[in-house]
Structure 1
Amino acid sequence: MAQDWRIVTLFIGSILVLGAIIGGPLVYAIMLSFYSAKSFVGELQWVGLANYAKAIQDPLFWQSFANGLMIALSAIFLQVVLGVGIALVLNRRFFGQSVVRAVSILPYFLPTVVACLIAQWILDPNYGLLKSLLASFGIGIADWSSQAFTARGTIVLVSVWLWTPFVVTCVLAGLQTIPTQLYEAARVDGAGPWRQFWHITLPGLRSVLVVVILLRGIWMFNKFDLIWLLTKGGPLNQTETLPTLAYRKSFLEFNLGGGAAVATISFLILAGVMLIYLRLFPIDDTKQER
């Protein structure tokens, strides 16, 4: 009995500590959004909803929101499509399967800063690897960071390279749970690969894909380090997103209240979209199966 109470106490204590670690900064950031502050140690001045009004009226806020949405949707689409395709290939038996599976997830373990440095080295218009390869064919290369399309495309491609292995791992695990008898019965009935995928594989992966898309959506919409390391929001704010805008306002413009307001609005938008998404695509689909 005493041991049970110790376990319960440890569990409650862990929840409280975790709540303080996660909830503390969140509550402080929301509180800070109602004040005008130049630093964390300076005097706070109450301004109410003024920071929120300024953020919503700022055209850069909506441009940053649109940029983040565009980058997130593009990256998620490519990550899921490529992840499912690669997982389907790796799910088949072939020589060296284990080695190929291990190699396919290596980019996921690469630090973001290293991936960004590699991308900048490859794409550098002056001495990059891509410039050298194209120069051998008499083709020139422009500065990718000076054009909005190429800058966004670079962010999307690097994110796809880094985090498609996460999708591959999740989908591959989901494929292991689909009974092989279903495919055998489908082949007996004359179903081809496409019909097997559409009627067996895709429904079997539904819960996995719902979770994967949700997680990748949250992470991509909140992504800061990748965008800041590659473009710092440029050129001319064409890759500015809400996380980078919040950072810029807080630590470069010394407007902590304004930055906290942008971060809070971003959090509310993401929470609202997440609730709608889970309402439309519930993870537990047992009721639908009935």
Structure 2
Amino acid sequence: MRQDWRIISLFVGGVLIVGAIVGGPLLYSIKLSFYAAESFIAPPRWVGFGNYLAILEDGNFWHALLNGILISTSGIVLQVTLGVTIALVLNRPFVGQTVVRALSIVPYFLPTVVACLIAQWILDPNYGLLKSILASLGSGMFDWGANSTTAKGTIVLISVWIWTPFVVTCVLAGLQTIPAQLYEAARVDGAGAWKQFWHITLPGLRSVLIVVILLRGIWMFNKFDVIWLLTKGGPMNQTETLPTLAYRRAFLEFDLGGGAAVATISFALLATVILIYLRFFPIDEAKQGR
């Protein structure tokens, strides 16, 4: 009984600590969004829903929201598509399979700042590696950061390069749980590779893909480091998203209440989407379906 109470006490204590770490800043941010404050030292002034009304009337907010949806959706589609494809290839036995599997997850362990610095070095229009390669081929180099399309594309590609190994690892683990007898029976019945994938592999990976898409959606929508390191929301706020907008309003424009309002709206939107997503794709039913 004493050991059981110790385990229960440790569990409850852990929940309370995690709740304080996560819930404390969240509640403070929500509270701050109802005040006008220029710093954490100056006394805030109550404005009610004034910050929210100002944010919703600001065109930059809606532009940042659309950018976030576009970048996160593009990143998720590419990461899941490439991740599933690579995992299917790595799941087949071949010479050096262990080494290739290990190399495939190397980008996942690379710090984001290092990946972004490498990308900037390669794509720099003045002295970048890509410029040298194009010059040797007799072609010119354009400034990728000066064009909104190429800037967004670079953000998506860097995110895909860093986080696709996460999808590969999860999908590869899911493939190991699918019984090989199902594929043998399908081949006996004359099913081809596509039918095996559609009727066996994909249903077997349903629960894994639901969780992976959910996690990648959360992380991509909240992506700040890659965007800020590469473009800082430029050019002309064309790659601005809600996280970078909240940071800019709070710490560069000294509008802590406005930044907190942007962060709170972003949290509410993301929480709503997650609830809707789990309503249509429940994880428990996906596990039972397997």
Task: Give TM-score, length-normalised by structure 1.
Answer: 0.98
Aligned match of 2:45: 45
Q: Return structure 1 stretches of 4+ with deviation > 6 angstroms.
A: none
Distance 1:65 1:286, change over 3 A: closer
1:84 aligned onto 2:89: no
Query: In the alignment, does 2:155 pair up with 1:155?
Result: yes
CA distance in structure 1 between the aligned counterparts of 2:123 and 2:249, rounded to whole angstroms: 29
**CA-to-partner distance for each residue in 1:57-115, whole Å, 9 max, x for gaps?**
10000000000100000000000000000000000000110000000000000000000
> For residue 71 of structure 2, what is the aligned residue in structure 1?
71
Within 5 A, what are the aligned runs for 1:233-244?
Answer: 233-244=233-244
1:286–1:264 distance in 2 versus 1, CA, 3 Å: closer
Q: Does 1:256 align with 2:285?
A: no
Identity of matched residues, % = 74
Compute the displacement of 1:3 (Å). Answer: 2.0
Match of 1:14 in 2: 14
Distance in 1 between residues matched to 2:220 and 2:139, nearest whole Å: 33
CA apart distance, 1:289: 4.0
Counterpart residue number, 2:203: 203
Mapped to 2, the partners of 1:289 and 1:165 lie a distance apart of: 26
Deviation string 1:237-273 (CA, Å, 9 cap, x unpaired) is: 1100000000000000000000000000000000000
Q: Could you report, residue by residue, the CA deviation over 1:157-184 in whole angstroms, capped at 9, with x for unpaired residues?
A: 0000000000000000000000000100
TM-score (norm 2): 0.98
Q: Distance in 1 between matches of 2:2 and 2:287?
A: 41
Size of the aligned set, in residue pairs, is 290
Query: 2: distance between equivalents of 1:207 and 1:271?
Result: 20
CA distance in 1, matches of 2:7, 2:56: 47
AA in 2 matched with 1:96: G
Please give the alpha-carbon distance, in whole angstroms, between the structure 2 residues aligned to 1:157 and 1:263. 25
Match of 2:108 in 1: 108
Give the letter aligned to residue 178 of structure 1.
Answer: I
1:5 aligned residue: 5
SS at match of 2:139: coil
Task: Measure, in 1, the Cα distance between the counterparts of 2:204 and 2:133.
Answer: 43
2:62 is matched by which residue type in structure 1? W
**Contact in 1 for aligned 2:207/2:287 (Cα 8 Å):** no
State the SS of the aligned residue for 1:115: helix
Q: 1:209 corresponds to which letter in structure 2? A: L
SS of the residue 1:190 aligns to: coil
Residues 94-105 of structure 1: matches in 2 within 5 Å? 94-105=94-105
* CA-atom RMSD in angstroms: 1.1
Residue by residue over 1:25-51, the C-alpha shift from the partner in whole angstroms, topping out at 9 and shown as x without a partner, is 000000000000011111010000000
**TM-superposed deviation, 1:8:** 1.3
Counterpart AA for 1:198 = W
Match of 1:140 in 2: 140
Helix, strand or coil at the partner of 2:190: coil
1:13 deviates by: 1.0
CA contact (8 A) 2:207 2:286 kept: no
Change (3 A) 1:289 1:104: closer
Q: In structure 2, what residue type is equivalent to 1:154?
A: T
* Equivalent residue runs for 1:23-62 within 5 Å: 23-62=23-62
Matched-pair contact (CA < 8 Å) for 2:55–2:61: yes
One-letter amino acid matched to 1:153: G
2:131 matches 1:131 = yes
- Distance in 1 between residues matched to 2:271 and 2:28, nearest whole Å: 18
CA distance in 1, matches of 2:182, 2:105: 28
Using the alignment, how far apart are the partners of 2:95 and 2:212 within structure 1? Answer: 29
CA distance in 2, matches of 1:162, 1:2: 46
In the alignment, the residues of structure 2 paired with residue 3 and residue 176 of structure 1 have an alpha-carbon distance, to the nearest angstrom, of 36
CA distance in 1, matches of 2:80, 2:286: 24
